[in-house]
């Protein structure tokens, strides 16, 4: 198996993009990544497109076939990958395996979603189609509702408090104000926005005990990466190649009630363990991470299940500033899903793009982890029933 490196990345600003079609979003992110890789108008061997909602929201399928034609990349192989909110990471995994095996040399992976085309309620229902079609969906379960139940259980078992959830929300939204690609541009604690800290704490309840600012926004957006064998990367680009040092993927029961302990995110733990084993690293080797914080509780829970902090200590670490820039392990310096946004098909790719920028040392000092060499991403599918983890490493000159 060949070592595989990321040589190009691209992203477009997330948010409400009424003027753009889904294909516009995917094409622009792709062109940015191809240009960043130095490929220009050269073709690639294959294109993997991550998308969950095109068929339901835009009434468009065969999205990858359409994109290669739009980009004039014919006759490149093309496939659309759907794995719920983990679609982006799944698309990258498929591209990684294709290059590592030797079947392809250059692969474009792009994820995108146009979710603001429908109302918030319809978007919530669209995401709820990931739930069990007999045991959950007919009874009105939604992902925020599931997250609320998970949060209550986690609070009772590990002593997580509203203050800990608030620490995640404040940190990630603050980082979003520094990220030109982020959907949310408002810092929660900026003077003049709220009359008092109580107003932040007591913002409207969404899915008790989660409040409005504990949830990510519904977003449009796209992100892309170009990958190739490591030995080829050094010939194609003058930028530091970023090695995909390890990856892992694991699944868990579709329904939470079938799990022995609903607070145990087994798929997160197993995916991270696989990635660390393949990368020959351990949690203490990671310098920066992008975790799937669709709900603030998930950043806390994932940081513990990965092994960054002991169980019950992730929330305390956030309150103490250990996950901020300059802390023990900076997490979600992009703003995370909480502020960068969550166009579900794009998220897993966007996480990788942000880590690549960190490892290339290309970000402004307000978001750049000094001398970052190793990064990690977690892309959380369903409610933890299909999870992917990537570990990336800067290749030294």
pLDDT tens across 130-142, in order?
A: 999 999 999 999 9
Q: Which is more confident, 1 or 111?
A: 111
- What pLDDT, on the 0 to 100 scale, is given for residue 362? 97
Please calculate the CA angle 340-341-346 and round it to the nearest 5 degrees: 105
pLDDT of residue 194: 43
Cβ atoms 149, 259 nearer than 8 A: no
Alpha carbons 7 and 11: distance in angstroms, whole number = 14
Query: Residue 144 and residue 131: Cα distance in Å, rounded?
Result: 12
pLDDT at residue 188 tops 70: no
Which of the four pLDDT bands, split at 50, 70 and 90, describes residue 193?
very low
Q: Tell me the pTM.
A: 0.95
pLDDT digits (tens, 9 = 90+) for 263-277: 999 999 999 999 999
Nearest to 317, CA basis, from 325, 329, 306: 329
Q: Average the pLDDT over each of 118-122, 137-141, 255-259, 381-385 and give the range with the smallest value.
A: 118-122
Peptide bond into 209 cis (omega under 30): yes
Mean pLDDT of 360-375: 97
Tell me, letter by letter, the H, E, C secondary structure of the chain.
CCCEEEEEEEECCCECCCCCCHHHHHHHHHHHHHHHCCCCCCCCCEEEEECCCHHHHHCCCCHHHHHHHHCCCCCCEEEEECECECHHHHHHHHHHHHHHHCCCCCEEEEEEEECCCCCHHHHHHHHHCCCCCCCCHHHCCCHHHHHHHHHHHHHHHHCCCHHHHHHHHHHHHHHHCCCCCCCCCCCCCCECCECCHHHHHCCCEEECCEEHHHECCCCEEEEEEEEEEHHHHHHHCCCCCEEEEEEEEEECCCCHHHCCCCCCCHHHHHHHHHHHHHHCCCHHHCCEEECCCCEHHHHHHHHHHHCCCCCCCHHHHHHCCCCCCCCCCCECCCCHHHHHCCCHHHHHHHHHHHHHHHHHCCCCCCCCCCCCCEEEEEEEECCCCEEEEEEEEECCC
* For residue 191, pLDDT beyond 60: no
Flag whether pLDDT at 154 surpasses 80: yes
* pLDDT at 195 (0 to 100): 43
Looking at domain 4-119+218-236, its CATH superfamily turns out to be: Thiolase/Chalcone synthase (3.40.47.10)
Written as six digits, the tokens of 27 are: 């094409």
Please, what sign has the CA dihedral across residues 159, 382, 60, 46? Answer: positive
pLDDT of 151 higher than 90: yes
Angstrom distance (rounded) from CA 246 to CA 96: 10
CB 262 within 8 A of CB 28: no
* Domain positions in the chain: 4-119+218-236
> Which residue, 331, 176, 219, 227, is CA-closest to 10?
227
List the structure tokens of 314: 């992730």
Average pLDDT, the chain: 93
Q: Residue 190: its pLDDT value, please?
A: 46
The per-residue pLDDT for range 53-90, each reduced to its tens digit, is 999 999 999 999 999 999 999 999 999 999 999 999 99
Q: Are 308 and 283 in contact (CB under 8 A)?
A: yes
Cα 113 to Cα 51: distance, rounded to the nearest angstrom: 6
Backbone angles phi, psi at 89, to 5 degrees: -65, -35
- Quote the CA–CA distance of 144 and 166 in Å, as a whole number: 17
pLDDT digits (tens, 9 = 90+) for 211-255: 999 999 999 999 999 999 999 998 888 899 999 999 999 999 999
For residue 388, pLDDT over 50 is answered with: yes
**What is the pLDDT, as a whole number, of residue 185?**
73
Rounded mean pLDDT, 150-157: 98
Q: Which sign, positive or negative, has the C-alpha torsion 254, 256, 260, 261? A: positive
d(CA 206, CA 211): 5
Residue with token string 């692969």: 107
- Closest listed residue to residue 176, CA positions, set 350, 361, 396, 4: 350
């Amino acid at each position: 198996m060949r070592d595989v490196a990321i040589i190009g990345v691209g992203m477009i600003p997330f948010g409400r993009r009424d003027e753009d079609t889904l294909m516009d979003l995917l094409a622009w992110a792709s062109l940015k990544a191809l240009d960043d890789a130095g490929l220009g108008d050269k073709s690639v061997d294959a294109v993997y497109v991550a998308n969950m909602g095109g068929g339901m929201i835009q009434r468009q399928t065969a999205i990858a076939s359409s994109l290669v034609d739009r980009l004039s990349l014919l006759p490149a192989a093309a496939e659309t990958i759907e794995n719920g909110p983990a679609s982006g990471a799944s698309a990258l995994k498929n591209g990684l395996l294709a290059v590592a095996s030797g079947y392809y040399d250059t692969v474009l992976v792009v994820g995108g979603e146009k979710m603001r085309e429908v109302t918030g309620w319809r978007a919530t229902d669209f995401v709820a189609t990931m739930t069990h079609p007999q045991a959950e969906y007919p009874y009105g379960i939604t992902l925020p509702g599931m997250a609320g139940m998970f949060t209550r259980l986690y609070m009772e078992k590990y002593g997580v408090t509203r203050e800990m959830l608030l620490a995640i929300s404040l940190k990630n939204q603050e980082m979003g104000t520094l990220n030109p690609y982020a959907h949310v541009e408002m810092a929660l604690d900026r003077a003049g926005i709220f009359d008092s800290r109580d107003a932040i704490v007591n913002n409207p309840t969404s899915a008790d005990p989660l409040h409005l600012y504990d949830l990510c926004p519904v977003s449009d957006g796209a992100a892309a990466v170009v990958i190739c064998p490591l030995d080829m990367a050094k010939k194609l680009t003058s930028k530091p190649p970023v090695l995909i040092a390890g990856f892992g993927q694991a699944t868990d029961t579709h329904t939470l009630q079938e799990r022995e302990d609903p607070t145990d995110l087994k798929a997160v733990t197993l995916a991270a363990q696989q990635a660390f084993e393949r990368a020959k690293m351990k949690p203490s080797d990671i310098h920066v991470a992008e975790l799937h914080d669709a709900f603030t509780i998930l950043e806390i829970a994932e940081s513990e299940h990965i092994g960054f902090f002991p169980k019950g200590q992730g929330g305390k670490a956030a309150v103490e500033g250990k996950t901020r820039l300059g802390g023990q392990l900076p997490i979600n310096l992009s703003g995370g899903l909480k502020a960068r946004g969550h166009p579900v098909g794009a998220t897993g790719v966007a996480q990788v793009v942000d880590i690549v920028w960190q490892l290339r040392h290309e970000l402004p000092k307000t978001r750049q982890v000094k001398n970052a060499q190793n990064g990690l991403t977690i892309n959380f599918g369903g409610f933890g029933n299909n999870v992917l983890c990537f570990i990336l490493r800067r290749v030294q000159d």
